[in-house]
Structure 1
Amino acid sequence: MSKAVITYYGHSCFKVEACGSSIVFDPYENGSVPGLQLPSDLTADAVSCSHSHGDHNAAHRVKTSGRKLNFDIRKITVPHDHHNGTHRGLSDITFITMPGLTIAHLGDIGRLPDEDEYAQLSRADVVLMPCAGYFTINSKEAAEIIKHLKHPCLTVLMHFREGSTGYDVQESIADVMRDIKNVKRLKTSNIIIDSDDVPDEVITLQPEQ
């Protein structure tokens, strides 16, 4: 039915290539995320930014073609915190859908989904999910969301601290893995997803730099 290539650039930034189109999620400004820098030659047909913070909305860092996308894209807005957005504002969950495959990027979701949001997430085959707290849901909340996803579903963790990358106030990936069990740590920056064979697992990718 459909195949998608997902490439990770660290923090919450991914490039998805599918159906002859490409989109970059949440490119970050150079210097905004400790230890990370986007490639200078990053290109895509379109850019999607979940919210207006500098570590998520550096659309100018991506050279875009402006071509019409060959997959559908839609967004729902959620709070960036546990206080209905009054502390950090709002952030988007973005869904891209193609024949047989839906990918959800959770942006900086700051609290557990409500019933309607869970219903929409339950239709996703791939979920790109923050997990390290302070700015977003923490590892316990991420583990709770994973329980509500349909199966099979591939969850790709993002927005965590590891080594010299990420923010000191975030949980490290080692902390995260105490709450989210059986995380598969891939030593590659990208993965190919086939809609006929979606793996039912939780993974991390190495940032492409």
Structure 2
Amino acid sequence: MMKLTWLGHSCFKAECEEGSVVLDPFEPGSVPGCRDIQEEADLVLCSHEHHDHGYRAGVKLTGRECPIQVTGLQSFHDGEQGARRGPNVIHILEGGGVKAAHFGDIGCMPAPEQIEALQGCDVVMVPVGGFYTVGPEEAKKIVDAVGPRVVIPMHYRGDAFGFDVLGTVDEYLDICGRWVRYEGASIEITPDMPRHTAVLQYE
């Protein structure tokens, strides 16, 4: 089992028996409506160095070695080979018998060899708000190509949080198929979960 907790925007904490990882922490005050990141984990990973994804200082490291297996896939923040917004790293985590992928600020379709590496993912965290990243339709194409059991949308605008230029999660839900709105910010991922989109609540 791997527990994923949404900390707002594109920031997640992944926890399993082996260890813990925080992905894409944002600088204080950088994302409207989101509280400052103050977490403790074995490892912190950032998809790129923009202020709303690369605030490593928000995570206190335990000093323990993190045995969660991490694979980074180099991609782009835009559809022009990074010419507009630079590089982006897709992080694949394997721990607790679960394979998870965090797409960061992906702005284009991953390359065929990256899609191959992403096969077998139990869960993916993918941006759906558009403008800075892929939008709903592009996100769905990525999801369809990877074929995860669970999809967690991120990097979108809610009623009380997020950048004004981003779309809402509803635009993705309209096209994604089966979805479930969870009561809280956390979800426990197991390899036998039914296929669905999981809408977590920012708390």
For the superposition of Structure 1 and Structure 2, which TM-score range results when normalised by the shorter chain? over 0.9
Secondary structure at 1:176 match in 2 = helix
Secondary structure at 2:14 match in 1 = strand
Secondary structure at 2:174 match in 1 = helix
Give the TM-score, by structure 2 length. 0.94
Q: Corresponding residue for 1:207?
A: 202
Name the CA distance, whole Å, in 1 between partners of 2:37 and 2:107.
28
Q: Corresponding residue for 1:100?
A: 97
1:181 Cα offset (Å): 3.1
Q: Structure 1: give runs of 5+ residues left out of the alignment.
A: none
Q: Does 1:163 align with 2:152?
A: no
Q: Does 1:148 align with 2:145?
A: yes
Map Cα deviations across residues 130-160 of structure 1 (whole Å, 9 max, x no partner). Answer: 1111111100011112222235x11111001
Q: Does 1:117 align with 2:114?
A: yes
Match 1:61 to one of 53, 58, 75: 58
Name the CA distance, whole Å, in 1 between partners of 2:165 and 2:152.
21
Secondary structure at 1:129 match in 2 = strand
Q: Corresponding residue for 1:89?
A: 86
Match 2:132 to one of 128, 132, 135: 135
Contact 1:24/1:47, CA 8 A, preserved across alignment: yes
Q: Corresponding residue for 2:14?
A: 16
1:101 Cα offset (Å): 1.8
Name the CA distance, whole Å, in 2 between partners of 1:50 and 1:90.
8
Name the CA distance, whole Å, in 1 between partners of 2:15 and 2:174.
32
Contact 1:80/1:111, CA 8 A, preserved across alignment: yes
Secondary structure at 2:173 match in 1 = helix
Write out the 4+ residue segments of structure 1 that deviate beyond 3 Å after TM superposition. Answer: none
Aligned AA (1:21): G
Secondary structure at 1:145 match in 2 = helix
Map Cα deviations across residues 165-205 of structure 1 (whole Å, 9 max, x no partner). Answer: 1111111122232232332211211011223x233111111
Contact 2:128/2:153, CA 8 A, preserved across alignment: yes
Aligned-pair RMSD on alpha carbons? 1.5
Give the TM-score, by structure 1 length. 0.92
Name the CA distance, whole Å, in 1 between partners of 2:190 and 2:172.
27
Q: Corresponding residue for 1:198?
A: 193
Secondary structure at 1:24 match in 2 = strand
Name the CA distance, whole Å, in 1 between partners of 2:128 and 2:30.
19
Name the CA distance, whole Å, in 2 between partners of 1:44 and 1:71.
12
Name the CA distance, whole Å, in 2 between partners of 1:161 and 1:44.
27
Name the CA distance, whole Å, in 2 between partners of 1:182 and 1:38.
32
Contact 1:19/1:71, CA 8 A, preserved across alignment: no
User: Which is worse superposed, 91-100 or 75-84?
Assistant: 91-100
Identity of aligned residues (%): 34
Q: Corresponding residue for 1:187?
A: 183
